[in-house]
Amino acid sequence: MHRVTALLASLALFVLAAGGVAQAAEPPKADPAKAEAPKGLFLLTDYPSQTVRVGEVTTVRVKLTNSGLPPEPVALALSGVPAGWKIDILGSGQPVAAAMPGVNQDVSLQLRVDVPKDAKPGSEKVVLSAKGPQSQVELPLTFTVGSETPAKLSLKSRLPSLRGTPRSSFEYTVSVSNDSGKDLTVALSAQGPANFQTTFTEGYGSNEISSIPIEAGQSKDIKVKVTPPRDVKAGDYPVLVRVAAEGATAELRVTLQISGQGKLALSTKDGRLSGEATVGKTSDYTLVVSNDGTAPIDEVEMSGSVPSGWKVEFNPKTIQSVAPNEKKDVQVQVTPSDKAIAGDYVATFRANGRGESSSADFRITVTTSTIWGIVGIGIIAVALLVLLGAVARFGRR
């Protein structure tokens, strides 16, 4: 039903527009070959026949053009205003009664049409007249009450499908057109799979926006940035971009083609990145190589940097493949140098595989052997034995 009225209204508009040509003292001749423009006073408007809404204010832009005549004050008047309607002639926002365009110059005017709430449907004819001492011109305007084109929006995207890894950000440039006859503030929203984040920015701006004003008949470019969650599996994900304003909506489906990517992580079983080692003796630690990404990683090579004179060995040295969400144990054997001094040292272990790498700093507390402590106790024992021997030999005198 709504659509039928809209169709009828546009048909009526078309018919009326054909009749409503701006009247001039001399009919304008659009001939580019002629050097001289047509002389006279003209009243111009883009849409002489318009739809107005009951109880609302519509502004009609009108231009008063003086072509080749000496400037003179021109009185402006309206006739045929229906009862209850209020139409003001505005110039620069103020009510005006006369205008004075210079030679070959325009004066912009607005008609502020205030339609009463009880206005009856149908067409009303209003004539705007401009009357100077020399010339006179009239502009008939037709206002159709009640039926008008509803807000209409459309969405377009040049690149509706993008490809990337879970870590890349997907930016779609979408142009939103306001196809209706009035300015609209368009609300933006997007619907994607769970945990997908979408943000809107305007053109090249960096501010996030949730709505954007678009003038009648204009279109604006907005950027939709979709950030998938890091742990998303490879596959195609649709995101529905939706714009809405005053009952009109438009939808556009963009697609994210996410390919998998591996992500290496190096840790230990209990997450503790410290251990103890004795000087000159081999200590074993178990490292865990895991793949937090979405694609398998092949040929992961283990390496490590330890203080000079130390030895480090991995078993296995190379891991064939680590599947996503898989954990593999690697034994690492660290032997502190014979000359190492007790204390804390840093050893760095690394896992490298096909562009992915991860490293972990391992704190090793080196302890020394207790053999010298026992020797010390032995020395004290010998001293005590000497004393005991002296007591036995010379004692109790």
Partner 1 sequence: MPPSAAVRVGSPFTGLGPVFMKELSDHLSSIRMLVLTLFVIVFGAFPVASSLQQLRTVVGADAYLFLRIFTIAPEQIALPFVQALNFVIPLMAIGLGFDSVNSEFNRRTLSRVLSQPIYRDALLLGKFLGGLVTLAVALVALWLIVFGAGLLLLGLPPRGVEVARALGFLVVAIAYGGVWLAVSMLFSVVFRSTATSALCALGLWLFFFILWPMIADAITLGFVPNEIRSVDQLLSLQELSLALQRLSPGTLFTEAVIGLLNPETRTLGPMLPSQMRGAIVGAPLPLDESLLMIWPQVTGLIASMIVLFAAAYVIFQRQEVRA
Residues that bind partner 1 (CB under 8 A): 306-310, 337, 339-347, 363, 365, 367-368, 370, 372-373, 376-377, 379-380, 382-384, 386-387, 390-397
H or E element at residue 377: helix 371-394
Question: What's the min distance (Å) between Cβ of 304 and partner 1?
Answer: 11
Q: How far is CA 77 from CA 84, 258, 359, in A?
A: 17, 66, 83
Q: How far is CA 106 from CA 1, 41, 92, 214, 358, in A?
A: 43, 10, 13, 27, 71
Report d(CA 55, CA 146) in Å as an integer: 10
State the CB neighbour count (10 A cutoff) for residue 156: 14
Instruction: Name the residue nearer to partner 1 (CB basis): 216 or 385.
Output: 385
Instruction: Name the residue nearer to partner 1 (CB basis): 199 or 368.
Output: 368
Q: Which two tokens stand for residue 241?
A: 């971009």
Report d(CA 305, CA 358) in Å as an integer: 14
Q: Assess contact for 51 and 101: CB atoms under 8 A.
A: no
Beta strands 311-315; 327-335: pairing state: antiparallel
Question: What's the min distance (Å) between Cβ of 274 and partner 1?
Answer: 11
Length of the chain: 397
Question: What's the min distance (Å) between Cβ of 299 and partner 1?
Answer: 28
Instruction: Name the residue nearer to partner 1 (CB basis): 238 or 343.
Output: 343
Instruction: Name the residue nearer to partner 1 (CB basis): 96 or 312.
Output: 312
Question: What's the min distance (Å) between Cβ of 268 and partner 1?
Answer: 18
Instruction: Name the residue nearer to partner 1 (CB basis): 75 or 379.
Output: 379
Question: What's the min distance (Å) between Cβ of 275 and partner 1?
Answer: 14
Instruction: Name the residue nearer to partner 1 (CB basis): 98 or 273.
Output: 273
Instruction: Name the residue nearer to partner 1 (CB basis): 15 or 381.
Output: 381
Vertex 293 angle, CA 290 and 294, to 5°: 125
CB-based burial, 328-343: b 16+ in 10 Å, e otherwise: bebebebbbeeebeee
Closest CA to 364 of 329, 384, 336, 394: 336
Residue 204's Cβ-count burial label (10 Å; 0-12, 13-18, 19+) is exposed
Instruction: Name the residue nearer to partner 1 (CB basis): 122 or 373.
Output: 373
Instruction: Name the residue nearer to partner 1 (CB basis): 231 or 361.
Output: 361
Could you tell me the sign of the dihedral formed by the alpha carbons of 317, 320, 321, 326, in that order? negative
Q: Assess contact for 121 and 89: CB atoms under 8 A.
A: no
Question: What's the min distance (Å) between Cβ of 347 and partner 1?
Answer: 7
